[in-house]
């Protein structure tokens, strides 16, 4: 057997130790773990982590990571002493809003397969007798949550990894990364170079320092977070022995940004209620000092910040009134712009990876995913929300990282609506149509730094003109947030007249050069070797047949392609896969260009007077592109539509964008044109069954499961990634399916991530949902067992209630495609 790669892991915290364990378990035995601090308590965040593991999260991936941490830590010990104490988790509500949110969270738990119950106040007190019955309305109980003893788990994992050949070395600071020919070759330390084929930085909140050594942006912010231990709590005396430590569930009081854990006869209290306290690494012990300083990640306790939460703690847990704070510290750990961890390889230095901004809770899951990436080339769990390359350039600036990470600290326990935009920073990226959109009263939400109109207040009068069958039903207060009935009017006009959609924020990549065709042939499931002007909807698969992305590829020249992509991950993927002989150039052209989706039965009437080019059915066929001029503006028009109506995506240079908008707008007036936003768009796309990657499908799904088998061209002569994996599969072989549901009562709108029950049992979860204005019913797409055929009655869990729905044949609108091809 050939030798496995030499791996250096930087950091012997819970992530580094887990990674050494996962790699050696896969036979990669040449693993060296280096830490600047002494072993095993290195002084990083892990050394003093109180280790509460609340598994459930809006993200399926993060919940799966946590579930694996629970499973793994339950199975390890140090000389018989536990690494995971499954005391359960209890989150209490003191407001009706929180109680409702706990019901929503219980829905996520059910969707992701975690057993849980919302319980009443009496049951909360039975589970945690210290809680004041009169202060709470109820709680969410998750019996499999508990306490991870992170510092002990590090010892257990290190021992296991060492037994398989790994080496752990403390008091060794990495001061540089050695590289040659664009690859890592080792790490520099004061004692010399340690050679390596792969380096993984698990340096926690020091991550930016390590990234800087290879010029890599690591968008995290070290923040201090207060944690205190009480003195003896009389009501806890005699409950636990030193070994067991705790028997009460871990407790969250999110309405006051607090959490609690037991330790023998004391309580630990963590608080997010204080001001964000960013930490400048330069002020922490460095180099030699780390060896002497026991805990660089423990900053002095600022009592004044803790005083109000101590009061709140004593209100929730009256037993604390006869206790006092014994010790406390301001502990440092990482926050990121979106709260997710950071996993991935440097774009410039092959073999340099990071796994940072990871909680103890997710540590084993993240480490397993990284080990799978290194050893197998892919993770079994979808990583798109964790990939360090998920951020747009503008989101990597220190100002953005600092502001948004601090905001995440403040909001960590807030009830956050899925559409809720951040208030600041805003206006980072605006399309050339922005001023016009403002004039029309656009209500903007933000994504990827872009301002995106969701609807236009200028269309409000149209709501009164809606035909009865288009009038949307009232929504409940939650579903009505960040929504307006104006969306119904915009959808109506799109289906009956014509609308302009700002498609500028959708990522556009230009792939060109003599090797462009071959690259796209290899990376996608469709036939790319078509005539100039062809547009192809296609999939990028991974080796196992999982969907990495869906792409719309337009061949604009023999060696020139425009790729409509899902975001920065596609750019990163294409760049990594491109040959390094200069035969392919890949550029993100999104910022310098713009796009209007002009769609509706009267779209052709709008352009007719504006162009000498042929926009007839023959002149520009469905899924064809051509260069043209509209109102004097040079454009590339593509005959396709996410909303399922006749029309084009019209691309222009950003400098011409405003004029393009104005000429279309003016010409459209006599045809009833409206500007329409994302709310209408999302409804119309779901009516047509168009999938959104990242929501509806990910690398965890194959094309046939996702209902996208048509995009895999079996007769394609060129080989492509994933071909072998999907060769034997078809829509008939799948065990699960992305299914279209319509809601039986015609009015109850769900928002996504809700559990779906078949025969009363959890069977899947909602991916995307909207009210279908054309069909007059709410729609939800959901992953369900393939046995749930069309006509099957199901129920969707929504804030603790069940909504009846039916699996329905898709698409709901225009299955014959007559509107698009007209």
Q: Which residues bind ligand FAD (CB under 6 A)?
A: 10-16, 34-37, 42-46, 49-52, 150, 173-174, 202-204, 206, 210, 225, 227, 270, 331-333, 356, 358-361
Q: What 8-state DSSP symbol labels residue 339?
A: S
Q: Minimum distance between the CB of residue 410 and ligand FAD, rounded to whole angstroms?
A: 16
Instruction: Supply the DSSP symbol for 688.
Output: T
Of 45 and 683, which has the nearer Cβ to ligand FAD?
45
Question: Catalytic annotation on 745?
Answer: no
Residue 21, both tokens: 């364990």
Query: How far out from the chain centre does Cα 755 lie?
Result: 18
- Which residue's CB is nearer to ligand FAD, number 34 or number 109? 34
**Least Å from the CB of residue 228 to ligand FAD:** 10
Residue 180: count of CB within 10 angstroms of its CB: 8
Cα separation values, 130 from 144, 161, 237, 250, 302, Å = 20, 40, 12, 12, 26
Q: What does each C-alpha distance from 519 to 349, 563, 584, 586, 719 come to in angstroms?
A: 21, 12, 8, 11, 11
Question: From the CB of 142, what's the least distance to ligand FAD, in Å?
Answer: 14
DSSP class of residue 197?
A: S
**Tokens matching residue 590:** 């999104």
Sheet containing strand 198-201, edge to edge, reads: 167-169, 31-34, 7-10, 198-201, 352-356, 342-345
Identify which of 337, 284, 275 has the alpha carbon closest to the alpha carbon of residue 306.
275
Annotation says 454 is catalytic: no
Q: With H, G, I as helix, E, B as strand and everything else as coil, classify residue 283.
A: helix
Rounded CA-CA distance 622/639 in Å is 5
Q: How far is the CB of 17 from ligand FAD (least distance, A)?
A: 7
| 794 CB-near residues (< 8 Å, 6+ apart) | 741, 756, 757, 758, 763, 782, 784, 788, 804, 805, 806, 807
- Which residue lies nearer to ligand FAD by CB, 248 or 520? 248
Least distance in angstroms from the C-beta of 483 to ligand FAD: 34
Continuous H helices in 82-177: 96-111, 121-127, 150-163
C-alpha dihedral (556, 557, 559, 564), degrees to nearest 10: 0
Q: Which CB sits closer to ligand FAD, 153 or 820?
A: 153
Q: Is 225 a catalytic residue?
A: yes
CB of 691 to ligand FAD, least distance (A): 33
149 and 40 Cβ atoms separated by less than 8 Å: no
Q: Alpha-carbon distance 807 to 789, whole Å? A: 7
Nearer to ligand FAD, 12 or 675 (CB): 12
- Closer to ligand FAD by CB, 66 or 584: give it: 66
**CB of 62: closest distance to ligand FAD in angstroms?**
11
Q: Which is nearer to ligand FAD, 43 or 385 (CB)?
A: 43
35, 68, 253, 259: the catalytic one is 259
- At 45 the three-state DSSP class reads helix
| Given the residues 103, 141, 225, 701, the one annotated as active site | 225
Contact (CB, 8 A) for 716 and 526: yes
Intra-chain end-to-end CA distance of the chain, in Å: 62
Tracing tokens 């003893």 back to the chain, one arrives at 149
804 and 814 in contact (C-beta within 8 Å)?
A: no
In the complex with ligand FAD, the residue whose CB is nearer, 45 or 431, is 45
Q: How far is the CB of 395 from ligand FAD (least distance, A)?
A: 21
Q: Fill in the DSSP letter of residue 255.
A: G
Residue with Cβ nearer ligand FAD (381 or 489): 381
Q: How far is the CB of 36 from ligand FAD (least distance, A)?
A: 4
Length of the chain in terms of residues written: 822
Q: Which is nearer to ligand FAD, 365 or 709 (CB)?
A: 365
CB of 334 to ligand FAD, least distance (A): 6
> Minimum distance from CB of 268 to ligand FAD (Å)?
9
Return the number of other C-beta atoms located less than 10 Å from residue 287's C-beta: 10
- CA pair distance 702, 708, nearest whole angstrom: 8
Cβ closer to ligand FAD: 13 or 432? 13
Burial 499-521 (b: 16+ CB within 10 A, else e): bbbbbbbbbbbbbbbebbbbbbb
**Three-state secondary structure along 725-776?**
HHCCCCCCCCCEEEEEEEECCCCCCCCCCCEEEECCEEEEEEEEEEEECCCC
Q: Rg for the chain (alpha carbons), in Å?
A: 28
Q: Are 519 and 719 in contact (CB under 8 A)?
A: no
Rounded Cα–Cα distance for residues 533 and 196 (Å) = 47
Considering 21, 35, 101, 550, which one is annotated as catalytic?
Answer: 550
Active site residues: 225, 259, 550
């Amino acid at each position: 057997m050939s030798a496995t790669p030499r791996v250096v892991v930087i950091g012997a915290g819970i992530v580094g130790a887990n990674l050494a364990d996962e790699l050696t378990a896969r036979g990669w035995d040449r693993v060296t773990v280096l830490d600047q601090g002494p072993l095993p308590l290195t002084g990083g965040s892990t050394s003093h982590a109180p280790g509460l593991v609340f598994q459930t999260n809006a993200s399926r991936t993060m919940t799966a990571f946590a579930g694996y941490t629970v499973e793994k830590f339950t199975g390890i010990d140090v000389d018989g002493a536990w690494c995971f104490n499954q005391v359960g988790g209890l989150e209490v509500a003191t407001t009706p809003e929180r109680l409702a949110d706990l019901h929503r969270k219980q829905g996520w738990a059910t969707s992701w397969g975690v057993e849980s119950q919302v319980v009443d106040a009496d049951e909360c007190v039975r589970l945690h007798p210290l809680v004041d019955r009169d202060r709470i309305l109820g709680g969410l109980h998750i019996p499999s949550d508990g306490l991870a003893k992170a510092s002990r788990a590090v010892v257990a994992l290190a021992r296991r990894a060492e037994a398989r050949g790994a080496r752990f070395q403390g008091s060794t600071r990495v001061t540089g990364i050695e590289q040659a020919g664009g690859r890592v070759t080792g790490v520099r330390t004061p004692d010399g170079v340690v050679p390596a084929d792969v380096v993984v930085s698990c340096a926690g909140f020091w991550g930016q320092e390590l990234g800087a050594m290879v010029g890599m942006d690591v968008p995290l912010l070290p923040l201090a977070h207060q944690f205190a231990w009480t003195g003896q709590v009389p009501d806890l005396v005699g409950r636990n022995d030193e070994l067991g430590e705790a028997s009460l569930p871990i407790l969250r009081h999110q309405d006051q940004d607090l959490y609690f854990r037991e330790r023998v006869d004391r309580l630990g209290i963590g608080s997010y209620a204080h001001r964000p306290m960013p930490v400048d690494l330069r002020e922490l012990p460095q180099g030699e000092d780390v060896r002497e300083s026991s805990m660089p990640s423990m900053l002095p306790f600022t009592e004044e910040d803790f005083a109000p939460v101590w009061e709140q703690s004593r209100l929730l847990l009256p037993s604390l009134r006869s206790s006092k704070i014994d010790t406390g510290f301001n502990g440092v750990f990482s926050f990121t712009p979106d709260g997710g961890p950071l996993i991935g390889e440097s774009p410039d230095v092959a073999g340099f990876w990071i796994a940072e901004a990871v909680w103890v809770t997710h540590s084993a899951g993240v480490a397993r995913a990284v080990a799978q990436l290194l050893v197998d080339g892919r993770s079994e769990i979808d990583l798109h929300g964790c990939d360090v390359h998920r951020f747009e350039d503008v989101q990597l600036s220190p100002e953005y990282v600092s502001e948004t990470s601090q905001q995440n600290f403040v909001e960590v326990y807030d009830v956050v609506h899925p559409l809720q935009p951040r208030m600041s920073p805003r206006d980072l990226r605006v399309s050339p149509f922005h001023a016009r959109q403002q004039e029309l009263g656009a209500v903007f939400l933000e994504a990827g730094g872009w301002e995106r109109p969701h609807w236009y207040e200028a269309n409000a009068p149209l709501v009164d003109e809606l035909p009865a069958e288009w009038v949307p039903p009232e929504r409940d207060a939650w579903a009505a947030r960040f929504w307006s009935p104006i969306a119904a009017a915009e959808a109506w006009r799109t289906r009956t007249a014509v609308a302009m959609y700002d498609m500028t924020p959708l990522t556009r990549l230009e792939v060109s050069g003599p090797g462009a065709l071959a690259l796209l042939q290899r990376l996608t499931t469709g036939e790319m070797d078509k005539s100039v002007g062809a547009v192809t909807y296609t999939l990028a698969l991974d080796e196992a047949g999982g969907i990495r992305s869906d792409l719309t590829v337009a061949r604009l020249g023999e060696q020139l392609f425009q790729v409509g992509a899902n975001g920065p991950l596609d750019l990163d993927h294409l760049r990594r896969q491109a040959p390094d002989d200069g035969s392919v150039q890949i550029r993100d052209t999104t910022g310098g260009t713009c796009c209007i989706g002009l769609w509706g039965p009267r779209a052709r009437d709008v352009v007719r007077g504006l162009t000498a080019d042929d926009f007839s059915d023959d002149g520009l066929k469905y899924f064809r592109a051509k260069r043209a001029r509209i109102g004097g503006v040079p454009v590339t028009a593509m005959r396709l539509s996410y909303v399922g109506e006749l029309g084009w995506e019209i691309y222009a240079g950003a400098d011409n964008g405003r004029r393009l908008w104005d000429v279309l707008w003016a010409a459209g007036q006599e045809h009833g044109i409206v500007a329409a936003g994302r709310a209408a768009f999302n409804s119309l796309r779901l009516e047509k069954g168009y999938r959104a990657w990242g929501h509806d499908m990910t690398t965890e799904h194959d094309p046939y499961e996702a209902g996208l088998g048509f995009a895999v061209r079996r007769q394609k002569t060129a080989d492509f990634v994933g071909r072998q994996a999907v060769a034997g599969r078809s829509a008939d072989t799948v065990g699960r399916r992305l299914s279209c549901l319509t809601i039986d009562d015609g009015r109850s709108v769900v928002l996504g991530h809700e559990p779906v029950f078949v025969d009363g049992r959890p069977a899947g979860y909602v991916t995307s949902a909207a009210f279908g204005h054309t069909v007059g019913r709410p729609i939800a797409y959901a992953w369900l067992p393939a046995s749930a055929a069309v006509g099957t009655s199901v129920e969707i869990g929504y804030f603790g209630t069940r909504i009846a729905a039916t699996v329905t044949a898709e698409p709901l609108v225009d299955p014959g495609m007559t509107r698009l091809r007209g």
